[in-house]
Amino acid sequence: MRITLRSLREEPDMPSWGSLRAHGRDTSAVSPRSETGVSEAGLGLLAPLRGDPAHSAIFTDIDGTLAPIADRPEHAGVPARATQLLEALGERFGLVGCVSGRRALEARRMVGAEGIAYAGNHGLELLLPGDREPRLDPSIQGHEDRAARFVATLGDDALADTGLRLEDKGPIQALHWRGAKDEGSAEARAHEIAAAAGRSGLEPHWGRKVLELRPVGGGGKGAAVAALLAADGLRAAVYAGDDRTDLDAFRRLRELCSEGSLDLAVCIGVSSPEGPMELGEEGDVSVDGPAGWLEVLDSLAQ
């Protein structure tokens, strides 16, 4: 039987992660909880993956999921325990991968776990175990610099004057306003830029206090997980993420179940005060921040 946990969320006795929500319900009384709010019943949802790790995959976002959000991307750090767990899980499970908006090589340096896969730039780059350089999505070849050329027309000083900080990620250009003197004005300017970028043939994507400008037609976290799951024998997967871009992976995993390519998909939202409402609506269950997801990873490593 091929299922996603979303199809079970209406069941009154469905287990969930403690204070975490399942279909908008308070489930704190479902079972005893740990300090991070992870219930024994909630952890039981992943029993099929623990029971057959060789045919199961674990996917995780990085910023806001493995690592707490920082004022600047370069200030974020992944806890050493997370690195250790991912390396241990990589030896046991059929596939372990980090799916990030960061560039693939940067994601690998930040996480520090060897022997696992990295999808960077929201799926535009794939860095498989043993690869020295990432593989670029062929759909953007020939216009990898389109976003950079557009951003260059905005002027560095003009961006700085509005409180927007540029992060150059090669094919993707990101504009951040977290920590700006006037975040409201900076965000308003970002919306103006997004409209102009769309008219210039780019795809604007919104995250947590960030606008990303991407080439049209390539990448996406859903495409990344689908590409990584193409390996023979993988029948179950769990994905954890904290932002709107992770919804793309949620939806693609469910499509793979509907198509018969997967038997089970578990979509976990990592909650935060800034998280989008859709994460709670479309996720099967949620955990309390990176600490809650770390505890789930620890349970999978047992």
pLDDT score recorded for residue 83: 97
66-86 tens-digit pLDDT:
999 887 878 889 999 999 999
Q: For 134, which DSSP code?
A: P
The model's pTM is 0.77
Which of 268, 269, 266, 271 lies closest to 288, judged by CA? Answer: 271
Which of 70, 85, 86, 215 lies closest to 141, judged by CA? Answer: 215
pLDDT score recorded for residue 81: 96
Q: 143-215 maps to which CATH number?
A: 3.30.70.1020
Q: What's CA 255's distance to the chain center, in Å? A: 17
The rounded distance, in Å, linking the Cα atoms of 56 and 119 is: 18
- Give the burial class of 31: count Cβ atoms within 10 A of its Cβ; 0-12 exposed, 13-18 middle, 19 or more buried: middle
Residue 176's H or E segment, with its range, is: strand 172-176
Paired with 165 in beta bridges are 176
Q: How many CB atoms lie within 10 A of CB 96?
A: 27
231-275 tens-digit pLDDT:
778 999 999 999 988 999 999 999 999 999 999 999 999 998 888
Q: Which CATH superfamily is domain 3-14+39-137+219-300 in?
A: HAD superfamily/HAD-like (3.40.50.1000)
Indicate the domain borders of the chain.
3-14+39-137+219-300, 143-215
Q: pLDDT grade, residue 2 (50/70/90)?
A: very low
